[in-house]
Structure 1
Amino acid sequence: MTTSLITSDAQALAVAEDLARHLQGGSALRDRERRLPHAELELFTRSGLWAISVPKAYGGAQVSNVTLAKVIARIAQADSSLGQIPQNHFYALEVLRVNGSAAQQQRLYAEVLGGRRFGNALAELGTRTAHDRTTRLTRDGDGYRIDGRKFYATGALYAQRIPTSVIDDDGVQQLAFVPADSPGVQVIDDWSGFGQRTTGSGSVLFENVRVEAQDIVPFQSAFERPTPVGPLAQILHAAIDTGIARAAVEDALAFVRQHSRPWIDSGVDQASADPLTLHAFGRLNIRLHAAEALLERAGEALDRAQRDANADSVAAASIAVAEARAISTEISLAAGSTLFELAGSRATLAEHNLDRHWRNARVHTLHDPVRWKYHAIGNYYLNRENPPLRGTI
């Protein structure tokens, strides 16, 4: 099966809409039974959407970040796990754009245009902080060897390459684009989170894994100068949560229209006429629309930072994205919970699996603490302090 080539923002949005309608049908069942979406991912990849951020100079569409965020949000609305699986794929492509050599860009972008998926092996368990790394990269002749263990490796289970954060002999962090079929690589399906159940966010074990020098891209330096790498990662998280929120609101609307009964004191014959229900749906939709608007605004700021990366433009993008992350966190959790308050007890029946929206939001929004985003946003506006460059804001 060949991979389609998307050439414009409009085409990317249209393809995402068609694909999302197809993916939505089985999303509740895949979540309930934890059916890993191998076939669905193939459709997703062959649609050309995994290559939409490849620069035009290398044959890609180089869509705006507004479009990229809308695509991820739309897929996440259909199936939030499928919306999250490519998050680190696009993150790795941005690291490649910012820090890769021309030869590395030419080769790896061509792989993506040909339908290859990148996963990730970044985070580790048992370190002092979430950003500490112990996985080692050691010189071996004209190449290197990798030893270590990773967790939260979203997408690695489905990937042809696994971009892996490693510490070299000088203590500097690099990103190794490791072929998934390399001897000594073991991808372990041990993700047991109660949400985002089919993301494959489990472990990757590296035992004396050979990696070629051409597959090592500088990583740490992307956070030692102003680059859009951090806000690019974060806007994708905001898009996933916004998609989850949209799905929860749409399902709540449909359930109340079709199944719910009005409360006896409302004095109306239909739940859709209950004045307190109308008030609650009004609040939900306002907040959802605000999240979608802030997501688009964040994409515009990130586009500006990519065109001209400097301390001011990257800080402005980081703050805009942090604002989108904050509100998308809140509305995704609120929508997933309020759904049951408005729909009633019948909505809790297992056959509907409507709790997946809250479970998915609760798990995904734990990626990094939103409380620190409010701190960074307040510090930026009040004290004119730029947020840290490390990429978590």
Structure 2
Amino acid sequence: MSSAYVDDKPPVLDRDGSAAVLRGDADVLDVARELADELRSSASERDRAGRYPAAALEQVASSGLLAAGIPVEWGGAGAGAGAVIEVIRLLATADASVAQTLQPHFQLVDAVLLDGGTELQSVLLPDVVAGGRVGNAIAERGAADGAQHSTLFRQTDEGTWELDGSKYYCTGAPGSSWLGVAVRGSDDTMSLGFTRTERDGITVTDDWAGMGQRSTGSGTVTFAAVRVPDTHVIRPWAGAESRRATHYVGRLLHAAIDIGTAEGALADGLRFLAERARPAPGRGFRHAGDDPLVQRSVGAATARVHAGRALLAHAASLLEYAVRTEKNVDMQAAVVAAEQVKGLAAELAVEISSEVFAWCGGSAADERLNLNRYWRDARTHTLHDPAQWAYATAGAEVVSAIGSGTLPDFVF
């Protein structure tokens, strides 16, 4: 008996267990660009439908991108973290919901690679290489952090763990092969458990109803006496340097979604400006794009997007380096850059997806165009955490470094 999906139709297409085999960063990025181009034309339709994007995610699964960050020895592409982050940015330029659905997949696969045991890796990673996806069951309604989670692990007499509780904001859970579940133990220790989605006692409900990112399946997952082998549990899941690295991979994936969303809005806005926008009345301009105020705004927006992309790539390279060296000063540099780009990306996404309407005028507000989907996606996604806290975290790291009597390179 499989897990119950609460919806009015099956949430995923049947897979034949095959996916393309990719090797290296170049392969991965070429495929991501091609896939983004394919998804772009149907993104508005998926947004209007607000349903689980089964066909789009089947394209992703077949493309081989789900195994982008898995080492070659496990059958994956062996791409670096920077390439995986770039995949998300590219896909977000076309459809932020599809990119958001993949964000927890890549972060949770990273956790398995860094902290999972051989037994967990040997069952989960081959599934991903074959096109399986990992969904998220991390957050809970009303719980700011793990200490407030009500979902619990209890150890059984057989040495397995029994999982009970309910999760929300479970992005990517519908149609997933595996779920990563953050759970509080009886001793308040946080663990990260992995279970196949198709299990007795697991119910996936696609009840997400956000104004943006409408097709991410970020609804409810409930667990009732679900047994999880001890080998499928990362415990404790807090405090280790590898846990910090996984966290910041996730932060950069989120930043990539925001930057990609800003780019998508910018591209569609510029296209509308060139082809359909009317000039402001009484100013004597033949075309809306002749207005120097519009030109100034466009110039600033393109510069900010390019700056965001450059900082994202820089932060990703610093994080990859910090994971290799395992030095605290290198991780500190990566944290500063990651938080800086997280704050900047959130601002870019919200501001640019709104600014394009000022360039294009009232006709751009026609609901049939659905240009507002970029702003709805950006505003919804950036509510994960305030941009000002990202800047504050970066600032705290810089102040701490200066206070220690040194002036590391990452300060400037």
Aligned residues: 386
| Distance of 1:207 and 1:360 partners within structure 2 | 33
TM-score, normalised via structure 2 length: 0.90
| Distance of 1:196 and 1:343 partners within structure 2 | 24
Aligned pair 1:347/2:368, yes or no? no
Aligned pair 1:67/2:122, yes or no? no
Match of 1:197 in 2: 214
| Distance of 1:161 and 1:11 partners within structure 2 | 25
Match of 1:170 in 2: 187
The runs of 5 or more residues in structure 2 that have no matched partner are 1-15, 404-412
DSSP-derived class of the 1:156 partner: coil
| Distance of 1:131 and 1:84 partners within structure 2 | 26
| Distance of 1:182 and 1:260 partners within structure 2 | 53
Q: 1:135 aligns with which of 148, 151, 158?
A: 151
Aligned pair 1:29/2:45, yes or no? yes
TM-score, normalised via structure 1 length: 0.94
DSSP-derived class of the 2:148 partner: coil
Match of 2:122 in 1: 106
Aligned pair 1:252/2:269, yes or no? yes
DSSP-derived class of the 2:139 partner: coil
Q: 2:198 aligns with which of 165, 172, 181?
A: 181
DSSP-derived class of the 1:86 partner: helix
| Distance of 2:400 and 2:238 partners within structure 1 | 27
Q: How does 1:139-150 map to 2 (within 5 A)?
A: 139-140=155-156, 141-150=158-167
Q: How does 1:347-366 map to 2 (within 5 A)?
A: 347-366=364-383
Aligned pair 1:311/2:328, yes or no? yes
Query: Structure 1 residues 385, 364: CA separation in 2 closer, same or farther (over 3 Å shift)?
Result: farther
AA aligned opposite 2:165: G
DSSP-derived class of the 2:174 partner: helix
Match of 2:23 in 1: 7
**Would you say the 8 A contact 2:147–2:184 is kept in 1?**
no
Q: How does 1:241-390 map to 2 (within 5 A)?
A: 241-384=258-401
DSSP-derived class of the 1:60 partner: coil
| Distance of 1:245 and 1:354 partners within structure 2 | 12
Match of 1:86 in 2: 102
The runs of 5 or more residues in structure 1 that have no matched partner are 387-393
Match of 1:153 in 2: 170
DSSP-derived class of the 1:229 partner: helix
Aligned pair 1:43/2:77, yes or no? no
User: What displacement does 1:201 show?
Assistant: 0.5
**Would you say the 8 A contact 1:227–1:310 is kept in 2?**
no
Match of 2:249 in 1: 232
| Distance of 1:184 and 1:350 partners within structure 2 | 42
Query: Structure 1 residues 226, 107: CA separation in 2 closer, same or farther (over 3 Å shift)?
Result: closer
Match of 2:9 in 1: none
Q: Could you report, residue by residue, the CA deviation over 1:33-58 in whole angstroms, capped at 9, with x for unpaired residues? A: 21321011011011010101112332
Q: Could you report, residue by residue, the CA deviation over 1:129-173 in whole angstroms, capped at 9, with x for unpaired residues? A: 476322111112231210011011000112111110112233211
RMSD of equivalent CA atoms: 1.7
**Would you say the 8 A contact 1:189–1:200 is kept in 2?**
yes
AA aligned opposite 1:188: T
**Would you say the 8 A contact 1:226–1:309 is kept in 2?**
no
Query: Structure 1 residues 385, 43: CA separation in 2 closer, same or farther (over 3 Å shift)?
Result: farther
| Distance of 2:319 and 2:288 partners within structure 1 | 42
DSSP-derived class of the 2:137 partner: coil
**Would you say the 8 A contact 1:230–1:318 is kept in 2?**
no
DSSP-derived class of the 1:295 partner: helix
User: What displacement does 1:203 show?
Assistant: 0.7
User: What displacement does 1:223 show?
Assistant: 4.4
Aligned pair 1:126/2:150, yes or no? no
| Distance of 1:197 and 1:228 partners within structure 2 | 29
Query: Structure 1 residues 300, 225: CA separation in 2 closer, same or farther (over 3 Å shift)?
Result: closer
Q: 1:220 aligns with which of 237, 245, 250?
A: 237
AA aligned opposite 2:95: D
| Distance of 2:379 and 2:197 partners within structure 1 | 30
| Distance of 1:101 and 1:181 partners within structure 2 | 22
